[in-house]
Amino acid sequence: MEKSKIQASLDVIRPSLQADGGDVELVEITDDGVIKVRLTGACGGCPMSQITLKQGIESYMKQAHPEVKSVESV
């Protein structure tokens, strides 16, 4: 997976996270299709962050990049 393409996709999601006072930062892309991100700002301590991560970010990333296996928070 190309880092610039993954970053561009995260940039599409970013404004909705920022609207709620949070953000997402790309940490790592593994060889086996796992994208590791760090949720920051309000997202970092939000009890709903796992839902945002799986149903929002991961769902979008898998749709945009079929080679993505999962998105994990670190």
List domains and CATH numbers for the chain: 3-73 (3.30.300.130)
Give the pLDDT band (50/70/90) at residue 1. confident
Query: What is the pTM assigned to this prediction?
Result: 0.91
Confidence of residue 46 (pLDDT cuts 50, 70, 90): confident
* Residue that the structure tokens 């970053």 belong to: 7
Measured CA to CA, the distance from residue 42 to residue 44 in angstroms comes to: 5
Containing 35, the helix (H) or strand (E) segment is: strand 34-41
Share of the chain above pLDDT 90, in %: 89
pLDDT tens digit string along 55-73?
999 999 999 999 999 999 9
